[in-house]
Amino acid sequence: MVSPLAQAARHTMRWPLTAVRRATAVALILASLNPAQSAAAQDSRSRTAKPTIVLVHGAWADASSWSRVVARLQDDGYTVRALANPLRSLSGDAASVRAFLETLTGPIVLVGHSYGGAVITNAATGNPDIKALVYVNAFAPDAGESATALAGPDSALSAPDPTTVFDLVPAALPPTADTDLYLKKSTVLTSFASGLSPDDKALVAATQRPATVGALNEPSGTPAWRTIPSWSVIGTKDLIIPRSAQRAMAKRAGSTITEYDAGHVGLMTDPRTVTNVIEQAARATAQ
């Protein structure tokens, strides 16, 4: 048998709990009736949210070339996507990246290495969610320019006889726009992958993905860097896109420039510097 005192205590404890529940329900209803306040809260959260970092690799590489940068960005709390760049044609590669970007929500920092810089220059145009472009040892073409032309005569890839630098597939001469270009192992070891260990150089040579002749020679479209802030990371020892060519493109684009003591694959040999610049861009455009 429950005593009257115990029954009274139960009623006393139940009342404040019920009152709290009712007050909470009323508050939720009032909040739902004030869309301006709710929208303001959502806008505040969107302004403070970290952007998604999208990484686009270049020719003779794949998304794994970003692995050391990805790990650092993730450790710092960023959502990161490293895409597979088709390397078939500049317009087609840009369309592929653009289609992926349209599936994302919120602010984006778009990063390109080498030929990937030409791809992001075209893929980002007209997308208001892209808040920054970051070029890492990369091409930043203007309309009508191609990667091959921008590399210039001082590039290790510029040779009177392309078969001394590339393996062509198919091997028929002259090459066509659809001909795949692989770097000769000697080109990888001495020029493309400088700064890596001998074992890592051999791995790059063995796992490279070819670009087509057409992709490297296709004229670029309207450049996104005309309307989107950009950062440029320039390797002073780059033998593929010479430092002078990178600086000229970066200055024309109005990029914030960082030079570092690296060759063409600085994203692999010095991921700390590359990550720092990407995060600078992310912070600057979040303000």
CATH number at residue 63: 3.40.50.1820
Residue 36 lies in a domain: no
Find the mean pLDDT for residues 12-20. Answer: 40
Residue 91 lies in a domain: yes
Residue 33 lies in a domain: no
Residue 27 lies in a domain: no
Residue 8 lies in a domain: no
**Structural domain of 104:** 50-286
Number of structural domains in the chain: 1
Q: List, in order, residues 6 or more apart from 39 with CB less than 8 Å away.
A: none
Predicted pLDDT at 286:
83
* Residue 197, CB-side half-sphere exposure with 13 Å CA sphere: 3
In angstroms, the CA 270 to CA 235 distance is 10
Find the mean pLDDT for residues 52-81. Answer: 98
Find the mean pLDDT for residues 197-202. Answer: 98
Residue 21 lies in a domain: no
Name the pLDDT band for 49 (thresholds 50, 70, 90): confident
CB 52 within 8 A of CB 182: no
Which pTM was predicted? 0.84
Question: Can you list the positions of beta strands (E) in 176-253?
Answer: 180-183, 211-212, 230-235
Name the pLDDT band for 5 (thresholds 50, 70, 90): very low
**Residue 267: C-alpha distances to residues 65, 194, 246, 274 (Å):** 7, 12, 15, 6
In the predicted model, is pLDDT for residue 32 greater than 70?
Answer: no
In the predicted model, is pLDDT for residue 97 greater than 50?
Answer: yes
In angstroms, the CA 221 to CA 236 distance is 28
Q: Sort residue 124 into left (φ over 0), alpha (ψ -120 to 50) or beta.
A: alpha
Mean residue pLDDT across the chain: 88
Residue 116 lies in a domain: yes
Backbone angles phi, psi at 148, to 5 degrees: -60, -45
Judging by beta carbons within 10 Å of its beta carbon (0-12, 13-18, 19+), is residue 115 exposed, middle or buried? Answer: buried
Residue 269 lies in a domain: yes
Find the mean pLDDT for residues 134-154. Answer: 98
